[in-house]
A and B are shown apart, each in its own frame.
Chain A
């Protein structure tokens, strides 16, 4: 069965790039442009992986992760966080919020793919 990935990313071009990479690898990728309904979408769809951008319009990526982790139904879902800010402080905050992997933009497609595979393999 195809692995399902939920991508929450406000930049349409980046979302399209990630969709292309993962889709080619056989994932079923759903995208959201902001974080407002993200937690509900995760609970409803039960994706195998959530990829979330740190800076989202409406609410922060960190809030989305916290909401996912706060819900017992979704707390086990692996989360990969992307950020364009790339500061140490953000990484710490992300890990505390329960992010499994943290990636800084721009990234190489191979790294992205490897990270997603690793998280899905768990």
Chain B
């Protein structure tokens, strides 16, 4: 077939795909999405897992290593039939957080860390280069097969230039497809539909070739089985390590590959789609794998020695004269390669622009979030990223020499992207996973992978010198790239897989255990791990939104495009009941807008841009920390206010209490004054009345003497009252001068008894004393203490109503204190009065007043307080009983 015709048919095919995509975009933009978002389309779009590697490389793989090729499809099969375990959670989180790429997911999970976004982006881009090179190589090879007319001579005269043309064409195609619009959620309906069409084409082509081989060449399934067992493939040996390792790495890759993540989560991630795909996608993989072994067997059987088994898909039909079938197979292979490159570079370009270009640009031009045309910058950066990614792929193709088996190139990429798996799974299921741990794990895994697999894959001498391979860097033997830590003789792929993932996981876990996550990180961690617990996991609210709706609208327009932005704002205005006006920038609205923008430019960038409009100038994670700190400060401040309020309440209560006390004191004072008035006026009344009577004269002398004595007695009563009042006042103020000295208690009681005997001397009291116990020295004011004793003894003499009155005085000494009890045998003091006898003017009865004003016990109480002791009534002693306690040694008061 002429080369020009081949190119023309390729272009026609591409044009057809473009038309499909265009129609789909039109339908989508008119809102008629309908079947564009169906489980069928979703499942077919997942088929970009099957690239040229599958289409061409699997046959070559089978020809070289028998059934081992099937592991690449068994891993994804297990992941999909087990979707309830991991993929479902991933889909829900992706939808909830409006994730735009796997880098965005990791960045988002670990506190919207842009550093992590960059790390994952770098890993993804580097890992993708061999993969893209694989596609370039396969398309170039297939061109060569057709161009050379003869099945053997598939070498194209100028293979490198063909590869350049292929790379350039793919870049153009991808740019046209993938960066026409900048959607709120990175959804490309056109691209997805085109991929679905390509999925059908490649499956149909592979099945067609397979059916031709089994029924056309081999003569039926039974015959085919016999031929398989007879062929060289039957000699393959299953290597347990590789078998298990490849199933694992393929399973990891189907989750972590940027393009798989793109179609699985970003484009149309929905649980009901996922449910259908859980069996339909494994079915697709199974059908794709079904005829690989027969084709390889027949190729080995029919094709001449030295033919490239990777090209059996084309060379076999060509050799059998089936030109049309070969053309279909070519288009199938072309479809596989193009769909992979398109989606992969869209996914990578999204990551590069969101996590590398935009943050740098925003940092360089802080005002850009408002003033610049962000939309244009994003699209431009994506287009450049697509070109860069394809350029890197081309460079890898050139460096590796373009002759390696396709499958082994693909596996290098698989191990590379699998480095994201530990952090991804850890992030989804372990709240304790921290950003530092993620960074350490990812970087470790990436470095080990690059050193043990990626760089060596370029060939000895290309990136690593031969000496490094044989002796290790600087002659350190245990650091040889393919015999790390002295593990020799291992399959290089398995060696790299085990070491990179083991060190990766170890670094991730250990560092996570020893570091402390920031507040945003913890919030996001909880939102991810507990995604099924709550559907309203808002990571970072805009509680203090001061945003101008106009500014928000301008920025949103620049990112989402004018119409989409207006639609969003109009919907919100309707929801707020302000139709026709701009909506208020409520915290909910701003948070929702942030999520929507995060769908276009990534979580960290969107947050940074909103931050600027809402009123904070710094960009990046530190800003989030600041928000968290600010919240903490506000809480602290309000706590402070709260405590101040409490203190005010406390003060007010104290004031109220003080006021009540004052009022009470005032009432007491009034009562006291009233009492004093009464006590003063009563003797005055007698004195005045009798002195008036006496001044009138003409009285018998005995009357004069009688009245004179009354006047005298009442005057003495008055004087004593005034003395008591003065005494009490001095004692209460604490300004009394104590005359401290040693005194014998027995002598003091003697003095008191002698003095008190003047009170009602007519009564004969029997005094019970225990003289030895009284014989102790106390250091106190002897006169004051005697005053108290006199008072108590006089009271007993006055009020004891027994016929044969007795008084018992008991002295006890305990722990440096002395107690003296005075108990008589009278009827005592009624219980209800016991509490008030020490109050001023608390005279109980006036039956037997002896000139007292009711101040005696009050004075006693004050005296004892001044002597550091107490006086109290002892109930239940069979009569009135008082106990005086005082310290054995009273020290001079400090004041």
Contact = CB atoms under 8 A, between A and B. Distances in A.
Interface of A: 10-11, 13-14, 16-18, 20-21, 55, 57, 84-87, 104-109
B682 A105 contact: yes
A105 B847 CA distance: 21
Contacts of A85: 674, 677-678, 681
Contacts of B678: 55, 84-85
16 contacts: A11-B686, A13-B690, A14-B685, A17-B685, A17-B689, A57-B846, A84-B677, A84-B680, A87-B677, A105-B682, A105-B685, A106-B684, A107-B685, A107-B689, A109-B692, A109-B693
A56 to B, nearest CB: 9
Interface string B692-725: 1100000000000000001001100000000000
Interface in B658-700: 674, 677-682, 684-690, 692-693
A68 to B, nearest CB: 22
B29 interface: no
A13 to B, nearest CB: 4
B690 A17 contact: yes
B709 to A, nearest CB: 10
A22 B686 CA distance: 15
B845 interface: yes
Given A10-B846, A57-B845, A57-B846, A84 B685 contact: yes
A105 B710 contact: no
A19 to B, nearest CB: 10
Nearest to A20: B693
Contacts of B847: 57
A16 B710 CA distance: 10
B682 A11 contact: yes
Contacts of B687: 106
Contacts of B713: 13
Contacts of A10: 846
A8 B782 CA distance: 44
Nearest to A90: B674
A19 B714 CA distance: 18
Interface of A is mostly: loop
A47 B713 CA distance: 32
A86 B684 CA distance: 13
B693 A84 contact: no
A109 B689 contact: yes
Contacts of B677: 84-87
Contacts of A11: 682, 685-686
Interface residues of B, number: 22
Contacts of B689: 14, 17-18, 21, 106-107, 109
A13 B686 contact: yes
A14 B710 CA distance: 10
Given A57-B845, A84-B678, A84-B682, A108 B710 contact: no
Contacts of A14: 682, 685-686, 689
A105 B693 contact: no
Contacts of B846: 10, 57
Contacts of B686: 11, 13-14, 17
A14 B677 CA distance: 16
A94 B189 CA distance: 104
Interface string B582-618: 0000000000000000000000000000000000000
Given A84-B680, A85-B674, 13 more contacts: A13-B710, A14-B685, A16-B710, A17-B685, A57-B845, A57-B847, A85-B681, A86-B681, A104-B681, A105-B682, A105-B684, A106-B684, A106-B688
B671 to A, nearest CB: 10
Interface centre among A13, A104, A108 (most CB of B within 10 A): A13
> Would you list the 9 A-B pairs with minimal beta carbon distance, nearest first?
A17-B689, A84-B681, A13-B686, A105-B685, A106-B685, A106-B688, A84-B678, A106-B684, A57-B846
B689 to A, nearest CB: 4
Interface in B838-866: 845-847
Contacts of B681: 84-86, 104-106
Nearest to A86: B677
A55 B679 CA distance: 11
B714 A17 contact: no
Contact of B692 (A55, A57, A86, A108): A108
Nearest to B688: A106
Nearest to A57: B846
A10 B845 CA distance: 11
Nearest to B677: A85
B695 to A, nearest CB: 10
Contacts of A105: 681-682, 684-685
B704 to A, nearest CB: 12
Contacts of B688: 106-108
A91 to B, nearest CB: 13
A107 B688 CA distance: 8
Contacts of A87: 674, 677
A65 B714 CA distance: 29
Interface string B199-219: 000000000000000000000
A17 B693 contact: yes
Interface centre among A10, A16, A17 (most CB of B within 10 A): A17
B678 to A, nearest CB: 4
Contacts of A108: 688, 692
A57 B846 CA distance: 7
A110 to B, nearest CB: 8
B841 to A, nearest CB: 11
A72 B693 CA distance: 38
A52 to B, nearest CB: 15
Interface in B522-554: none
A63 to B, nearest CB: 17
B834 to A, nearest CB: 19
Nearest to A17: B689
A3 B285 CA distance: 137
Contacts of B680: 84
Contacts of A21: 689, 693
Nearest to A55: B678
B111 to A, nearest CB: 77
Interface string B819-851: 000000000000000000000000001110000
A7 B709 CA distance: 23
A99 B677 CA distance: 22
